[in-house]
Amino acid sequence: MANICLYFELHQPLRLAPVPLTSLGALIESYFSQAERDDNKEIFSKVAKKSYYPMLQLLLKLLRKEPTFTFALSLSGVFLEQAEAYEPRVLKLLQQLVKTGRVELLAETYYHSLASLYSTTEFVAQVTKHEQLLKQLFGVQPTVFRNTELIYSNAIAEQVRALGYRGMLTEAVPRYLDSRPPTQVYHSSTKSRLPLLLKQAQLSDDIAFRFSDKSWRWHPLSVAQYLQWFESYGPNECVNLFMDFETFGEHQWEDTGIFEFFSKFVSDAIRAKKHAFITPSVALRAKSAGEYDVPDPISWADVDRDLTAWTGNALQQDTLRLLYSFEQAVQEKNDEQLLADWRFLQTSDHFYYMCTKWAADGDVHAYFSPYNSPYEAYRQYAVVLAHLRERLE
């Protein structure tokens, strides 16, 4: 009987408002909304209607129906701020889920940033701020860490262990995992030997990406077929299904049958008595199957599972270098609004929109971007960054 560890990420970025180049030298009330229109509110409410409300309600129903059902959520601070401001009922549903005692909340960077790659001090500050928010809203102290986009390396493992976390989630990348299965617990190639859970990409992506693909061999995917693929795993293995929460209703629309599929998957898996749902903190108690040596950072994005979705071209590299070079000056200003603006500009999505990849990876980037091209994303971000620098000077 294999264990199943379900984890969902809830994040929505604050997208930039169309700040004109002529605004340089002038006072701007917000980089993220206009007085007459808040695009972020419209987008959040739209996604809430399609995804957050129906899926949160389904999860609550399943928790009440299935006493052994359990899973984990990671909620970015940026998401929680918007939920509280735009759709407070989303926050109330999340609080109801957590009160059941069977939903584990994971720690992450408050601003869904790349700080773990650029600034240890800022990384610690954001993780601490995120911890405080979870305590305030849910009364929870997280023990397991999930970095932005599952970004991980040996060096990041040491940062996470220094913060006191018992384990971490990341991607199973073949060039580092070799032929070993992703269904075992591993530990970091560091002195601290941080326990690690690795995503089972094939089964996760069958739902997250391939579910509605009519050209896919297994479309339409049945629950019976999906569960049959779990039969190859034994009692000492854990199948880690990690995906974006928006998979349900937003990426895979309601008319694909995604909600019905998920509900039946959970119930049938439990009824068959061949699998047990467990949380990451429980899964990490298993004995390590060996070292996972990752000298260069990995992520769960794109074919290569590396950082090129955010750092692969000169546009991204230039803006990231400049943004993080402001850290000391921002801190010295002792201006809460300036600090908040600088941190919201760290959200990884801004750099994801600047990605110039093509083929399948490029299609995914284009789908998520609010811009017509990565160059327009860079132009808009560069204007805001120039305005921020003016405020610092």
Start-to-end CA distance of the chain, whole Å, equals: 62
> What is the C-alpha separation between 387 and 392, in angstroms, rounded?
9
250 classed as catalytic: no
Residue 325, class by beta-carbon neighbours within 10 Å (0-12 exposed, 13-18 middle, 19+ buried)?
exposed
Beta carbons of 69 and 270 less than 8 angstroms apart: yes
Exactly one of 149, 171, 237, 246 is catalytic; name it. Answer: 149
Among 18, 25, 15, residue whose Cα is nearest residue 387 = 25
Burial annotation 266-276 (CB, 10 A radius, 16+ → b, else e): beebbeeeebb
- In the block, tokens 């970004």 appear at 151
| Cα torsion angle, 267, 269, 274, 279, sign | negative
Among 119, 112, 184, residue whose Cα is nearest residue 150 = 112
> What is the C-alpha separation between 387 and 36, in angstroms, rounded?
21
Among 123, 194, 139, 203, residue whose Cα is nearest residue 165 = 194
> What is the C-alpha separation between 234 and 175, in angstroms, rounded?
24
- Beta bridge partners, 74, equal 9, 106
- The residues carrying an active-site annotation are 149
